[in-house]
Amino acid sequence: MLNYSEKPLLEFVTELVKARGIKLLVKREDLNHPFVSGNKWWKLKYNLEQAVTRGYQTLLTFGGAYSNHIYSTAAAAHELGLKSIGIIRGEETLPLNSTLSFVKEAGMKLHYISRDDYKRKSEEVFINDLRERFGDFYLIPEGGTNEFALKGCAEFGEGLIKETDFDYLCLPVGTGGTIAGIICGLKGQKEVIGFSSLKGSFLKDEVAQLVFNYSNINYSNWKIEEAYHFGGYAKLTEELINFIKDFEKKNAIPLDQIYTAKMFYGVFDLIAQNYFKEGSTILLLHTGGLQGRAGANF
């Protein structure tokens, strides 16, 4: 299967952190694989195992034109000698952006569908139509979120408990699969804070349902922070761009503008508001996605 590169936890100190008596750690999962990086490695791990074990030759999945998941799936399929198909939301735009250029070079076949059709991506009739068009395939949902993704992320959460002691775990949230799996893996220990990159309040219910479906337990040691989406998915402001530049200059840690930067910004803002207990340890999860910086012009 795919190789995994384990990296040590990195501690970094700022005047704000010292003033609040807080220990700040970052888990650099963006460095766990050259192309299938961050949480995508854990979400794809058991999906890929299932596909190979069950004899599938083709992976099919869904995503937007800048999808980290599409990028990682194409790279994983190429590395394992599998074919891949990406069902892309919206019309083809030429020249292709860096993400779609990469996946095409990795051998992924791209199929564009309207946004209305994309809303049907979970319907059985729609999936059957895709099978008639492309033949048999192993289906991975948008963002990779399914029971096998939760299994991988739960395993990752279990490993974090063994690796280090911490009071809070902070991570960015998109479809909710990563945080749901980690919540299950922590089994009610620690406090988990997910920073939504999406505008709206629907993620809390979706994550709660994912957690219960996987574990049959309603854990209460987590929350979704909704105040740091900066306008919504893939939205940017000058303030966020300046934060990314300043943070990378001071700490030599690159952040992607869609997920990790919003989470890091939110954590520092909450530290300034004295949200975290004095003397506590905060573990920040860097979930990768750095290929999304290409073409961002900052």
Query: Which structural domain range is residue 89 located in?
Result: 39-144
Count of CB atoms situated within 10 Å of the CB of 191: 18
The answer to whether the Cα torsion of 81, 44, 48, 155 is positive or negative is positive
* The two three-digit tokens of residue 261, written as one number: 């930067």
H or E segment to which residue 101 belongs: helix 98-105
**Helix crossing, 98-105 with 68-80: angle to 10°?**
20
Q: Based on the structure, what is the number of domains in the chain?
A: 2
* The two three-digit tokens of residue 179, written as one number: 């945080």
Do 234 and 91 belong together in one domain?
no
Please count the CA atoms within 13 angstroms of the CA of 209 that sit on its side-chain side.
9
Last residue of a domain, one of 144, 168, 200: 144
**Of 217, 219, 223, 188, residue with least CA distance to 203:** 223
pLDDT in 10s for each residue of the chain, 298 residues: 899 999 889 998 888 899 899 999 999 999 999 999 999 999 999 999 999 999 999 999 999 998 999 999 999 999 999 999 999 999 999 999 999 999 999 999 999 999 999 999 999 999 999 999 999 999 999 999 999 999 999 999 999 999 999 999 999 999 899 999 999 999 999 999 999 999 988 999 999 999 999 999 999 999 999 999 999 988 889 999 999 999 999 999 999 999 999 999 999 999 999 999 999 999 999 999 998 887 676 6
Do 49 and 189 belong together in one domain?
no
Cα gap 195→269, rounded to integer Å: 12
pTM, entire model = 0.94
- CATH code where residue 131 lies: 3.40.50.1100
